[in-house]
Amino acid sequence: MIARRSLIALSAGLVMSAGLGLPSWAEETFKVGLILPMTGPFASTGRQVEAGVKAYIAAHGDTVAGKKIELVVRDDAGTADQTRRIAQELIVNEKVNTLAGFGLTPLALSVAPVITQAKVPAVVMAAATSSITQASEYFIRTSGTLPQYSVPVATWAHENNITKVVTLVTDYGPGIDAETWFTKEFKAKGGEVVEAVRVPLQNPDFAPFLQRVRDAKPDAVFVFLPSGVGSLFMKQFVDRGLAEAGIKLIGTGDITDDDILNGMGKPALGTITAHFYAAAHDSPENAAFVKAFKDANKDMRPNFMAMGGYDGMHAIYAALEATKGDADGAALIKAMKGLAWTSPRGPISIDPETRDIIQNIYMREVKDVNGELQNVEFKTFKDVKDPVKSGQ
């Protein structure tokens, strides 16, 4: 019985390895392995990025430089060792030509050794800690970095007579990045950070922390929270009477994430944030994108995650066109360096030195536009590089 079973398994194995050895028909396809958290607490990130990627393919067709683009979507549930295993399997078994996705920093970092060893490019579409692109020569990023959009908030606050600020961030990598870079810029401009509050990642009850903010009586509170917990924060911000006490709410665009902004209701009105993308961005490219996105995904509004996925696919398409269909990893990453194009979010490019994105950062205010809450842009910081790597 055992002998027969292993014989079956053996022949199955032989058939499989024989299949791997026949690349003749496989040459026509170009495989993109999309690894995202599709389940668990970060599922909304995965859903938005995937929808962005699919919107791009729907709008631009699935053939590039004579190759058919094939998408292989995998769920890592936000667990780093799963991301790593899936990445490795996609490379050796599925023979993907490029990897993409990566919802959180540790998930992206876990694949760094694999992509370096296998010489396969990986397009970071969501994770936002600065150091990611330094972990491997094969990373490029089409989302953004937290320092990139924390610094402009400080600049704007200083210009608008805000001198005393309390910072409130989630206590993990990105939050500390946001706090550090906001504080650095704000102090350099002569502002004062009277208190720095860090909220635990696991405990989304802001009430006690907001009381401390209120007692400190600042001009404004600078907030970074991972996208998703914004609604709860807004409610408690109002409940604690911070707005009545004249404390302005400023922060990175993660707190007024387009995906959930509409559900926040009135409390969100007037919040000032900085980010690289708003669904209300005024351009013909964006109007077309938002429409296509909404058509393909019922009741969903694209947020910055979707934008990262959309532009990430563009980087892959453009690189493949530049190499004339050559799917070699090194050639692709070379072609991606220095790419520049007009995205729905505005003009963007890939820094050839750091492989990180250079983009406009917009200051926005939450307003009611035709019955929908929107982040309405009112000021632009042009061509912002990641300040960590540009040595500011």
Partner 1 sequence: MSGARSEARDRATEQLRRGNAWRLYEIALWIAAAAAIFVLPSKMLLLTEIAITALFAISLDLVLGYAGIVSLGHAAFFGLGAYAAGLFAKHVFAEPVTGLFAAAVVSGLAGFAASFLVLRGSDLTRLMTTLGIALMLAELANQLAWATGGADGLSGITIGPILGVFAFDLWGRTGYVYSLAALFILTFVARHLVNSSFGLSLRAIKANPVRAAMVAIPARNRIIVIYTVAAAYAGVAGALLTHTTSFVSPDVLAFHRSADVLLVLVIGGVGYLYGGIVGAVIFTVLRDWLSVSTPQYWMFWIGLILIAIVLIGRERIARWDSFLPASLQLGIKRLATWRPGATLRESR
10 binds partner 1 (CB under 8 A): yes
- Binding-site member from 64, 65, 71, 73 for partner 1 (CB under 8 A): 73
245 binds partner 1 (CB under 8 A): no
- Binding-site member from 80, 232, 238, 376 for partner 1 (CB under 8 A): 80
201 binds partner 1 (CB under 8 A): yes
Query: Among 166-174, 244-252, 260-268, 339-347, which window interacts with partner 1 (CB under 8 A)?
Result: 166-174
Alpha carbon distance 3, 9 (integer Å): 10
Nearer of residues 177 and 377 to partner 1, judged by Cβ? 177
- Binding-site member from 51, 55, 91, 166 for partner 1 (CB under 8 A): 91
Shortest reach from residue 87's CB to partner 1, in Å: 10
6 binds partner 1 (CB under 8 A): yes
Nearer of residues 18 and 370 to partner 1, judged by Cβ? 18
- The strand pairing partners of 169, in sequence order, are 198, 224
Q: How many CB atoms lie within 10 A of CB 91?
A: 23
Alpha carbon distance 239, 220 (integer Å): 17
- The strand pairing partners of 103, in sequence order, are none
DSSP state of 267: G
- Binding-site member from 64, 71, 88, 376 for partner 1 (CB under 8 A): 88
Shortest reach from residue 280's CB to partner 1, in Å: 28
Nearer of residues 110 and 183 to partner 1, judged by Cβ? 110
CA dihedral (108, 113, 114, 119) positive or negative: positive
Q: List the structure tokens of 158.
A: 């200083």
Residues 6 or more apart from 364 whose CB is under 8 A from it?
253, 256, 272, 273, 274, 275, 278, 280, 375, 376, 377, 378
Secondary structure of residue 389 in the 3-state scheme: coil
CB–CB of 102/115 below 8 Å? no
Nearer of residues 84 and 314 to partner 1, judged by Cβ? 84
CA-CA-CA-CA dihedral for 68, 73, 79, 80, to nearest 10? -10
65 binds partner 1 (CB under 8 A): no
Residues 21-50 contacting partner 1, CB under 8 A: 36, 38-39, 43, 47
16 binds partner 1 (CB under 8 A): yes
Residues 6 or more apart from 352 whose CB is under 8 A from it?
337, 338
Nearer of residues 54 and 345 to partner 1, judged by Cβ? 54
Alpha carbon distance 386, 340 (integer Å): 16
- Binding-site member from 29, 59, 71, 85 for partner 1 (CB under 8 A): 85
Shortest reach from residue 223's CB to partner 1, in Å: 18
Of 303, 244, 243, 245, nearest to 271 by C-alpha is: 243
CA angle 187, 252, 181 (to 5 degrees): 30
167 binds partner 1 (CB under 8 A): no
Nearer of residues 196 and 216 to partner 1, judged by Cβ? 196
Nearer of residues 113 and 325 to partner 1, judged by Cβ? 113
State phi, psi for 8 to the nearest 5 degrees: -60, -45
Binding residues for partner 1, total number by CB under 8 A: 48
- The kind and range of the H/E element at 221 are strand 220-224
Alpha carbon distance 189, 220 (integer Å): 16
- Binding-site member from 129, 183, 252, 271 for partner 1 (CB under 8 A): 129
Binding site for partner 1 (CB under 8 A): 2, 5-6, 9-10, 12-13, 16-17, 20, 36, 38-39, 43, 47, 73-75, 77-81, 84-85, 88-89, 91-93, 105-106, 109-110, 112-114, 117-118, 129, 131, 135, 171-173, 176, 200-201
